Chains A and B, each alone.
Chain A
């Protein structure tokens, strides 16, 4: 055993383990104790004890927080790199140490480590590879060697069934972002001494904000290997080292740093940022408005969703209540997409429009789907550019208009929705066209199209004056 004086970054006595305790819970000859000491010494040497946030895994080292006199977070099995990511994104100056076993890191936590490494999180990972699950009593790990006997490979690890031991350094080395990757071994006291500067370097990198550093430690687990500590160390050198070459894989000088953040907005600046840009002072509600249950239906691209949003935005200006509900998902990809809009002087209960008293049918399938749902006395508007048939119902009001052609005349086929909506407003008198004209430029994402949309309103107004609603 190599003896060190106790590092300052260890507690004097391990009270979390038990009153007055001074020994660790690790088995004789276990590599975890050595790894802890190297890390604690490096923390001392680098003077970072207050800044360290130590992440302990699930595995034999779950209780690392018994020993490290630093900030401590105990993590779910395999997730320390994700937890470390959360800490990194919160604390700029913390030194985040993720300490993990092979089951934790290369088994259950594989996605966590790969993605944290790939993002180049500025954290330091110490990966203790003992080729077995220690804590749970010696089952196969992702790093267990071929033919190695464990509780779950009693006849030995089988290549065809269990796959090959995973080289995590090699895997890390296939990613572009890590700045430092090195494998060390605890097969002899001299090699442990050699690992010392690797541990320190991996932490120095983080202090220098270089980015992601990964140190794999080949480490004995005499108990579960069923060997004496001496034999276990020999097995590390004779069996593990040939499969997991001990070397530096990468040591970059780049400083990757953190992705730059924009300045933090709080208080009034945040309120300013979030406040509505579409605001016009709403008027007092016109109490005579009859509840509108509008279904605007067509195929994707006809602007039925945005027509619904425009309608809702207009009625808010009129001081009315409104809900807008889209059809969405796979349904939008064929046939009919529709927006359901409710307008009322009263608070609105259900936003669902099952029986629209206004149906705006922009294409054939929409008229097929909803004609029967319109209650007697309702209004059906039909885009005759795309629908050749007449409404069969005799108990509803109808308005036929060639919306798509009128939009073509305006020069922008996408204004067909503006045309029908304008005429709906003229028929229903829920919203006047001046309000509509004010809302359009505020609601449009592509501001340069506002002019054409306003022309579409004019076009609709002229068309309606020439083709008023037939009173029946």
Chain B
């Protein structure tokens, strides 16, 4: 065991380098900037490419170019920057290009503030820009997972040729925790679809335009089929004390850390609470939530947004049990005690 104390944002860069990333294109924004700072230092020092773009629209297009040329490439930003990247993300999805994008969520809408929210859930987990497409979305809740999930994200992105997101928030990015680095550094293989500027790849074309409606229809179905494969193969979640839970909390990212402590306190008070934490937001654990909905009295969807994930939970539950929305907005973080109190009150009114 060889742990070092690290910010989540720094851990992303370590995970990326070990995951085989060779290129980083980005534009600064709080609370994601440390990722660009660490990438500028470590990508450059290790003989890789870091470039500060003039804006996020062009950063994502640099990523588009590098990915077309077969590189493992990434960027990191926060809501306003991800909004600007969205056209490019849609192009990457359409052209089936892999990349890793990190969204350290801040509070919105507009310029909002730099405190944590989880209000990019819909934008990121549902695609976010025009057209039919999906991103793979990973939601770390510790510095260790910031490293590990970023490390794994590059291979996932390449396996499905899909943009892959690390959806974190200001606290998960800013928090320091001990991190143990992955021990096996990865490298990028040559892809048969990429454009390398050589005779072997000369016939390759990266494009998302298909004027023929039948062709584009077929392409869309193919993208959807890939999304289904991802749903089948890549679902990940974690459970705490769910075996006999009568109250189920569902939360990801920083909310899941607070909910974790809330469950411990509730259990110490003799209340049978449990926590389900989606680690992947796309794919989403619909089936497991459905199963648990048969067992529990109610579900509390704990989120720093107006209930964006709760909509997916409601879909899974399909009326079997009540889904209560515990939401905080504007960068406000609930205390554990607040959550415990809400649960206790809501249990009383059942």
Residues of A participating in the B interface, judged by any CB pair closer than 8 Å: 16, 49-53, 55, 62-63, 65, 69-76, 79, 82-91, 93-95, 111-112, 114-115, 261-268, 270-271, 273-276, 278-279, 282, 309, 312-313, 316, 321-326, 328-329, 348-352, 354-355
Question: Would A74 and B58 count as touching, CB distance under 8 A?
Answer: no
Question: Would A273 and B46 count as touching, CB distance under 8 A?
Answer: yes
One of A79, A90, A111, A112 near B71 (C-beta < 8 A): A90
Grouping DSSP codes into helix (H, G, I), strand (E, B) and loop, the A interface class, with mixed when no group exceeds half, is mixed
Closest chain A CB from B269 CB (angstroms): 15
Chain B residue at minimum C-beta to C-beta distance from A264: B47
Question: Would B64 and A76 count as touching, CB distance under 8 A?
Answer: yes
Known: A114-B54, A313-B5, A349-B257. 10 other contacts (CB 8 A): A50-B198, A52-B197, A73-B68, A82-B65, A87-B68, A93-B197, A111-B54, A268-B185, A324-B176, A349-B264
Given the interface pairs A50-B198, A73-B65, A266-B185, the reply to whether A324 lies near B206 with Cβ below 8 Å is no
Closest chain B CB from A433 CB (angstroms): 19
**Most B Cβ at <10 Å: residue of A71, A86, A267:** A86
**Most A Cβ at <10 Å: residue of B65, B68, B258, B333:** B65
At the interface, yes or no: B292 with Cβ under 8 Å from chain A?
no
Q: Which residues of B contact A72 (CB under 8 A)?
A: 195, 204-207
Q: Which residues of A contact B317 (CB under 8 A)?
A: none
Closest chain B CB from A11 CB (angstroms): 10
At the interface, yes or no: B31 with Cβ under 8 Å from chain A?
yes
Question: Would B14 and A274 count as touching, CB distance under 8 A?
Answer: yes
**Most B Cβ at <10 Å: residue of A75, A112, A350:** A350
Question: Would B178 and A322 count as touching, CB distance under 8 A?
Answer: yes
Closest chain A CB from B75 CB (angstroms): 11
Question: Would B46 and A86 count as touching, CB distance under 8 A?
Answer: no
**Most A Cβ at <10 Å: residue of B5, B177, B258:** B5
Chain B residue at minimum C-beta to C-beta distance from A18: B212
The 4 closest A-B pairs by CB, nearest first: A86-B65, A94-B197, A349-B261, A349-B260
Q: Which residues of A contact B49 (CB under 8 A)?
A: 89-90, 261
Question: Would A82 and B257 count as touching, CB distance under 8 A?
Answer: no
> Which stretch, B17-25, B117-125, B131-139, B222-230, touches the partner chain A?
B17-25
Q: How far is the CA of A114 from the CA of B66 in the complex (A)?
A: 20
Q: Which residues of A contact B183 (CB under 8 A)?
A: 271
At the interface, yes or no: B217 with Cβ under 8 Å from chain A?
no
At the interface, yes or no: B220 with Cβ under 8 Å from chain A?
no
Q: How far is the CA of A65 from the CA of B54 in the complex (A)?
A: 28
Interface 1/0s, chain B 309-350, versus A by CB < 8 A? Answer: 000000000000000000000000101110000000000000
Given the interface pairs A350-B260, A354-B337, the reply to whether A112 lies near B181 with Cβ below 8 Å is no
Chain A residue at minimum C-beta to C-beta distance from B258: A350
Q: Which residues of B (170-222) have their CB < 8 Å from a CB of A? A: 171, 174-178, 181, 183, 185, 187, 195-199, 201-209
Chain B residue at minimum C-beta to C-beta distance from A111: B54
Question: Would B204 and A76 count as touching, CB distance under 8 A?
Answer: no
Closest chain B CB from A330 CB (angstroms): 8
20 A-B Cβ contacts within 8 A?
A52-B197, A65-B205, A73-B206, A76-B64, A79-B61, A79-B88, A85-B65, A86-B23, A86-B69, A87-B197, A89-B62, A89-B66, A90-B66, A270-B18, A276-B4, A282-B3, A312-B5, A323-B176, A324-B176, A355-B335
One of A76, A93, A275, A323 near B91 (C-beta < 8 A): A76
| Number of A-B pairs, beta carbon distance below 8 Å | 236
At the interface, yes or no: B296 with Cβ under 8 Å from chain A?
no
Question: Would B181 and A316 count as touching, CB distance under 8 A?
Answer: no
Size bin of chain B's contact surface? 35 or more
Chain A residue at minimum C-beta to C-beta distance from B46: A265
Closest chain A CB from B264 CB (angstroms): 7
Q: Which residues of A contact B205 (CB under 8 A)?
A: 16, 65, 72-74
Chain A residue at minimum C-beta to C-beta distance from B22: A90
Closest chain B CB from A148 CB (angstroms): 29
At the interface, yes or no: B51 with Cβ under 8 Å from chain A?
yes
Given the interface pairs A79-B88, A86-B67, the reply to whether A350 lies near B198 with Cβ below 8 Å is no
Closest chain B CB from A296 CB (angstroms): 13
Interface 1/0s, chain B 95-107, versus A by CB < 8 A? Answer: 1000000000000
At the interface, yes or no: B2 with Cβ under 8 Å from chain A?
yes
Question: Would A352 and B333 count as touching, CB distance under 8 A?
Answer: yes
Question: Would B261 and A350 count as touching, CB distance under 8 A?
Answer: yes
Given the interface pairs A51-B197, A270-B185, A274-B14, the reply to whether A83 lies near B261 with Cβ below 8 Å is no
Closest chain A CB from B335 CB (angstroms): 4
At the interface, yes or no: B63 with Cβ under 8 Å from chain A?
yes
Chain B residue at minimum C-beta to C-beta distance from A92: B197
Q: How far is the CA of A73 from the CA of B4 in the complex (A)?
A: 42
Question: Would B58 and A324 count as touching, CB distance under 8 A?
Answer: no
Q: Which residues of A contact B62 (CB under 8 A)?
A: 82-83, 85-86, 89
Q: Which residues of A contact B232 (CB under 8 A)?
A: none
Given the interface pairs A322-B178, A351-B257, the reply to whether A329 lies near B55 with Cβ below 8 Å is no
One of A94, A268, A329 near B69 (C-beta < 8 A): A94
Q: How far is the CA of A53 from the CA of B61 in the complex (A)?
A: 15
Q: How far is the CA of A306 from the CA of B31 in the complex (A)?
A: 19
Q: Which residues of A contact B295 (CB under 8 A)?
A: none
Closest chain B CB from A253 CB (angstroms): 26
Q: Which residues of B contact A89 (CB under 8 A)?
A: 23, 49, 51, 62, 66, 71
